[in-house]
Amino acid sequence: MSLAPPPPVSTNPVFRLVDDLRREVRAGDFPPGHKRFSVARTKRFAQYPLPLLLDMYERYGPVFTLRVFHGNVVFMLGPEANHYVTVSHADNFRWREGHMGELIPLLGDGLLTIDGDFHRRSRKAMLPVFHRERIAKSAETIFEEARVAVDDLPGSGRFDLYHWTRRLALRIAMRALFGLDPDRAGRGFDAARAFEDALAFYSRDYFLQIARGPGSPWRRMHKARAALDRLILEEIARRRTTGERGDDLLSLLLDTRDDDGHALDDAHVRDEVMTLLFAGHDTTTSTVSFLFHELSHNPDVRERLEEELDAAGALGAEHLDGSALPYLEMTIDETLRKYPPAWIGPRRSVHSFTFAGVQVPGDAFVNYCSWASHHLPHVFADPAAFRPERFEPEARAKLPKGAYVPFGGGSRTCIGMRFGQAEVRAIAALLARRLRLAVPADYRLRIRQMPTIGPRDGLPVDVTRRERTTAPARAAA
């Protein structure tokens, strides 16, 4: 069987709206909830959905309906719901026909936007790059890029940690995953800026997203995509022509063959590259930013982390293993609990089903939400508090199945999870070891949540060089 992509999905907003309404009428009855159109509710969901979802959970339980703009969406919250959707009954839910399909105009047919056999075979082809042994080989590159970037920061002043981390994470991904020299690729092209311009489309109001005229967010997104495509496709063409290969994902994709012996076409390779660049650098950026926001507001946690880092001696790539710095690992886990970047898992049901005594129709939008599930007080006591101790080994072992799902679950668990964790460890350890970053007193965190959650206004931090550091960070070999 040839590894051929699925049929294209329409991006016409009018066609999609009409199709959604038609399928909703055919679906029949939806679970209890707020099923009438409401501009105020839609706006509230778009601006900050967490309180709304938690309130609905209190009123209706783990399964409820919420009409967001034109369509009813079924939400399933809690550990059991997460496990049901991602693991035990995952085959009854499609990604491509859910709201994840809205990423297709930017990402194409990569792992985030495909289903079924095409997804299984594509993922299988890419898994070797993300094996633990391969991540260990990438550790030197990750640590080297992070060390150089931290070394370049001044010992005082203010900078935007969110945008600084975005650029660093993209450099790491370009080198470690795709074998591209970020200082030479694109002849001065600012890939990080292009990604920001492209992703900005998904944080705009819905009415602006459906506009298609000159100067619209849609046009700006496609302009940024075209610039990124030139960078990726030129590298694909160069490697096909020269035969150059390396120990990276791009080389693996170029040499992958389907069951009939055919190579992946350029469009398929491009889509997987774009998907992993997006997923990797965007989630790392958000996690590092939220971590230091919490450290700034929790000095006891920050001090304990600094003590662990000081006691570790000279930091090196070997510290990118999760067991090397256990308290750092706990602070990262707690950050991912409070702020899971992939905060929602949008699906469309295939067949009707019953969960927690509630009937859900087939062909309906069904979402699980890690962000809301991670804030249920009967699962995580005092969920608004930042408590890394929740993830001490004994406490973590007591968590129910499906309680903690920052990377999804089952066959759709983030393929780059280990790589992303290594990035966050390197950046966080080097920053916290050398500098103390304080969020300004007048800064108020506002969260944007499309397509991943992150600080809406960036994260400005005031820098103080730490004097307690007893040994300089060791350069990567």
Count of beta carbons in the 10 Å neighbourhood of residue 210: 16
Residue by residue, pLDDT tens for the chain (477 residues) are 456 678 888 888 888 888 888 999 999 999 999 999 998 998 899 889 999 999 999 999 999 999 988 899 999 999 999 999 999 999 999 988 888 888 999 999 999 899 988 888 888 888 888 888 888 888 899 999 999 999 999 999 999 999 999 999 988 988 888 888 777 665 567 877 888 888 888 888 777 888 888 999 999 999 999 999 998 999 999 999 999 998 888 998 898 876 777 788 899 999 999 998 887 778 899 999 999 999 999 999 999 999 999 999 899 998 988 899 999 999 999 999 999 998 999 999 999 999 999 999 999 999 999 999 999 999 999 999 999 999 999 999 999 999 999 999 998 998 888 899 999 999 999 999 999 999 999 999 999 887 889 999 999 999 999 975 444 444 443
Q: Domain map of the chain by residue range?
A: 13-465
For 465-472, which contacts have Cβ atoms below 8 Å and span 24 or more sequence positions? 465/155, 465/156, 465/434, 465/435, 465/436, 466/306, 466/433, 466/434, 466/435, 466/436, 468/306, 468/310, 469/310, 469/433, 469/434, 470/310, 471/313, 471/314, 472/314
Short-list 222, 175, 182, 185, CA closest to 200 = 222
Structure tokens at 462: 């005031």
Burial of 157: CB neighbours in 10 Å, binned 0-12, 13-18, 19+: exposed
Cα–Cα distance between 403 and 285 in angstroms, integer?
24
- Please report, for residues 45, 237, 244, 254, the alpha-carbon distance to residue 241 in angstroms, rounded to integers and kept in the order given: 49, 6, 8, 11
Short-list 184, 177, 167, CA closest to 269 = 177
Kindly compute the dihedral angle of the four CA atoms of residues 80, 81, 83, 86, in this order, to the nearest 10 degrees.
Answer: 180
Determine whether domain 13-465 maps to CATH 1.10.630.10.
Answer: yes
